[in-house]
Amino acid sequence: MANILILGAGVMGTALAVPASDNGHAVVLSGTPLDDAVVARMQAPGGTHPKLDAPLPGTVRVIADAALTAEDTDKADLIVVGVSSPGITWAVDRLNELLRRETTVAFVTKGLDRRDGAVVTFAETVPERINRLGTFIGIGGPCIARELALRLPTASVYAARNEAAAKRAAALFRTPYYRLAVSDDLTGVEACAALKNFFAIGVSAMQTRYPDALRADGQSKNPTAAAFTQAVHEMAMLCEMVGGARSTAFDLAGLGDLHVTVGGGRNSRLGHSLGRKRNVEEAMTQELANETVEGIDTARVVASLLHGMGRDSVRFPLTKAIIDAVLGKTLFEFDFEKLYLPANAG
Amino acid sequence: MANILILGAGVMGTALAVPASDNGHAVVLSGTPLDDAVVARMQAPGGTHPKLDAPLPGTVRVIADAALTAEDTDKADLIVVGVSSPGITWAVDRLNELLRRETTVAFVTKGLDRRDGAVVTFAETVPERINRLGTFIGIGGPCIARELALRLPTASVYAARNEAAAKRAAALFRTPYYRLAVSDDLTGVEACAALKNFFAIGVSAMQTRYPDALRADGQSKNPTAAAFTQAVHEMAMLCEMVGGARSTAFDLAGLGDLHVTVGGGRNSRLGHSLGRKRNVEEAMTQELANETVEGIDTARVVASLLHGMGRDSVRFPLTKAIIDAVLGKTLFEFDFEKLYLPANAG
């Protein structure tokens, strides 16, 4: 039995308490200051997270941020940071207040950053900000938190530069329904986890861009399949540009997570609006008012990657179409004549 | 302008007449003896193929098999064979009757064969049976014929051992809506084109195996995304075993075509039935009575690949689950505990 502390009672942090608790570990789920209402609700008898369907196992101890102490972090064999990317600075500060010894921390938080003119992942920028970080673990792969909390079969990947550390972390969470690969391509897993939100916008736009009234879902299929394939290949090239391995884009953290992200969630809803020829301002002030669409932040960073790439940017027609639409320059238009098919050039 | 002869008035052969004709080529679409009624229907003014929505361009000459002569094949710069796999022997015989000079032939027909105890693609077995074959071109990638005929954006790949020949063929068909890559991995494109039907059964089964009543389509997403990723990786390994390149499975002919095949067509419908815990006999005598499901034929050949693989077959848990269900041994059950995640083994 291990002691696991989860920081942040968002859907993913909360869902991870389920396999950890099913494995017999002592789990503490501690909300952020923004989670107080959610924590109170889960502390009530039979209480559920508002975005999950089932109550947590009774063995999970749910506490508010105010109740979290250094005794909790002292005991923890592993800490999970379950905040979304805008919460990363809060999480870093809180860890620096609490940690009194080197501790392994697994992050579900994903993002791309700029540093010294280069684009890097949180795996590059976050560790140096935490004073007593043992190993940085990144969690990626196709996982809708609600389904994991319902114990539906789910595959994910735990990544660390030190693969043995990733294996130890995965062993704490792996159950018959939560199947975990491990990887030493931490940067690649982090990059893909951020990029999949961005590409989900473009692939989802293609789902609505060419309607097919004869189908139950109203969507034609050839354009989406072409865009999905294109997205995976452009993701692989971008992943490599930020220091990850191409192969990671062709695995759970890349094409797997893109598959689950297209068709559900806020990035996909933005894509569907763009595909219906609405512009990003309309979408973000109307059907997505007050929502955070993580792929938009990623678009800003990816735009800086593409900028100055020169002629090479011809290899990224889908990336460019998404950036142009999401940063408000044009309506979404992925010109199939620009589809980059390397062997074509003759 | 070139002369293009299409042999077989099935949906794919007929649909290919659209981009060829849009490019200004002289196109003859010749039915098989089984296509006489379809041909008569298309020859009537404004007549359409029964499974396509729009009439062909008026410049396409549609003829019955009885009207096809060696003068037509003499003139053809390229012949497309558009029959399905059970029609391949007829097509080979007809070409041997008609061809008086070496001619390039592009095949949409896909299949795996056994030869001398090994599993091979039609690219290995068909050319030696045609006396005056110039270049064998294989056509793969995510293409629902009806959408191509409607000129919806579609990406595909034309493959030949001689890449220059593939480029020449692709140049005849490429239009603004029909974007063509070329490849010299003919065996890989042929293998993936057959294997995608097989794997579409398993991924589609996962769509119905774990229902989610809260979603519009009733499907949970994590199990399907995991199975899709697994399918692509097992396809890559099988592709390599029959002599193709792994990378082909990660491109249009592999993951792209699998994407379009899951959720539509007969292989997917069989998968949906299996996912609902019906056995293959029930499905094939009831909801799929009198239908040909190509993935079942592929399953028989893939079973012989797996047989005798020994311990290595542990790398193919999805392949094995599909074979067991499709060949009637068990209900479909993809045990996530058997998910093969190489780096796991510790």
Q: How far is CA B231 from CA A139, A174, B315, B319, in A?
A: 22, 21, 11, 8
Interface pTM (ipTM) of the complex?
A: 0.97
Helix axes A294-306, A265-275, angle to 10 degrees: 70
Radius of gyration of chain A (CA): 20
Region A188-198: mean pLDDT is 98
* Residue B166: pLDDT over 60: yes
Among A196, A221, A277, A338, which one carries the catalytic annotation?
Answer: A196
Find, in chain B, the residue whose alpha carbon is nearest to that of A183: B343
A53 touches chain B (CB under 8 A): yes
pLDDT digits (tens, 9 = 90+) for B304-318: 999 878 888 999 999
Query: What mean pLDDT do residues A214-243 have?
Result: 96
Residues 60 through 119 of chain A touching chain B, CB cutoff 8 Å: none
> Is A4's pLDDT higher than 60?
yes
For the domain made up of B187-344, give the CATH fold: N-(1-d-carboxylethyl)-l-norvaline Dehydrogenase; domain 2 (1.10.1040)
Average pLDDT in the B168-173 region?
A: 98
Mutate one of A222, A224, A232 to test the B interface: name it (highest B CB count within 10 A). A222
Does A253 count as an annotated binding residue? no
Measured between CA atoms, the residue of chain B closest to residue A233 is B251
Residue range A55-83, pLDDT digits in tens: 999 999 999 999 999 999 999 999 999 99
How many of the other CB atoms lie within 10 Å of CB of B40? 13
Q: Give phi and psi for A276, each to the nearest 5.
A: -85, 15
For the domain covering B3-184, report its CATH number. 3.40.50.720
Is the pLDDT higher at B345 or at B75?
Answer: B75
- A336: contact with B, CB 8 A cutoff: yes
Kindly tell me if the per-residue pLDDT of B342 is higher than 80. Answer: no
- pLDDT score of B343 more than 80: no
So what's the pLDDT on residue A342? 61
Residue A338: per-residue pLDDT: 83
- Which of A16, A229, A267 to probe the B interface (max B CBs under 10 A)? A229
The C-alpha of A209 sits at a distance from chain B's nearest C-alpha, in angstroms, of 10
* Range from A67-71, A110-114, A334-338, B70-74 carrying the lowest mean pLDDT: A334-338
A252-310 tens-digit pLDDT: 999 999 999 997 889 999 999 999 999 999 999 999 999 989 999 999 999 999 987 88
What value does the mean pLDDT take over residues B231-260? Answer: 97
Residues of A in contact with B52 (CB under 8 A): none
Query: Where does chain B hold its CATH 3.40.50.720 domain(s)?
Result: 3-184
Among candidates B163, B223, B260 on the partner chain, residue whose Cβ is nearest the Cβ of A222: B260
The β-bridge partners of B145 are none
Are B343 and A182 in contact (CB < 8 Å)? yes
Asked if B260 reaches chain A (Cβ–Cβ under 8 Å), the answer is yes
Provide the residue type at A156 as one letter. Answer: S
Q: Which two tokens stand for residue A252?
A: 């759970």
Task: Please tell me the predicted confidence (pLDDT) of residue B346.
Answer: 33
The SS3 call for residue B203 is helix
Place B344 in a pLDDT band, splitting at 50, 70 and 90: very low
Q: What is the model's pLDDT at position A335?
A: 87
Question: pLDDT, tens digit, for every residue of A16-27?
Answer: 999 999 999 999
Containing H/E element for B40? helix B36-43
Q: Identify the CA nearest to A184 among candidates A127, A244, A128, A133.
A: A244
User: Which one has a higher pLDDT value, A328 or B158?
Assistant: B158
How distant is the Cα of B165 from the closest Cα of chain A, in angstroms?
Answer: 11
Report the chain A residue with the minimal C-alpha distance to residue B149. A222
**Which 8-state DSSP code applies to residue B345?**
-
| C-beta atoms of A148 and B222 within 8 A | yes
Of residues B51, B75, B167, B196, which has the active-site annotation? B196
* B343 close to A160: Cβ distance less than 8 angstroms: no
* CA atoms of A247 and A240, how far apart (whole Å): 9
Q: Do A176 and B336 touch (CB under 8 A)?
A: yes
Facing residue for B179 by CB, picked from A220, A255, A336: A336
Pairing mode of beta strands A133-140, A154-159: antiparallel
Residues of A in contact with B177 (CB under 8 A): 336
pLDDT tier at B243 (50, 70, 90 boundaries)?
A: very high
pLDDT digits (tens, 9 = 90+) for B35-56: 999 999 999 998 999 999 889 9
Chain A nearest C-alpha distance from B206 (Å): 10
Q: Is A257 on the interface with B (CB under 8 A)?
A: yes
Instruction: Flag whether A264 is marked binding.
Output: no
A345 touches chain B (CB under 8 A): no
Average model confidence (pLDDT) across chain B: 95
User: H-helix or E-strand containing B319?
Assistant: helix B317-326
Transcribe A219-234 into DSSP letters: B-SHHHHHHHHHHHHH
| Sequence ranges of chain A with CATH classification 1.10.1040.10 | 187-344
| B117 pLDDT higher than 60 | yes
CB contact under 8 A, A255 and B255: yes
Side by side, the strands of the sheet bearing A178-183 are A61-63, A26-30, A3-7, A78-81, A103-107, A133-140, A154-159, A178-183
Q: Which residues of A touch B15 (CB under 8 A)?
A: none
Write out the two tokens for A94: 């809180």
**CA distances (Å), origin A294, targets A49, A119, A312, B253:** 22, 16, 26, 31
Q: CA–CA separation, A183 vs B342, rounded Å?
A: 10
B266 is in an annotated binding site: yes
- The mean pLDDT of B214-222, rounded to a whole number, is 92
Report the chain B residue with the minimal C-alpha distance to residue A334: B153
Tokens read off for B251:
């491109």
Q: Is B196 labeled as catalytic in the residue annotation? A: yes
Give residue B284's pLDDT: 96
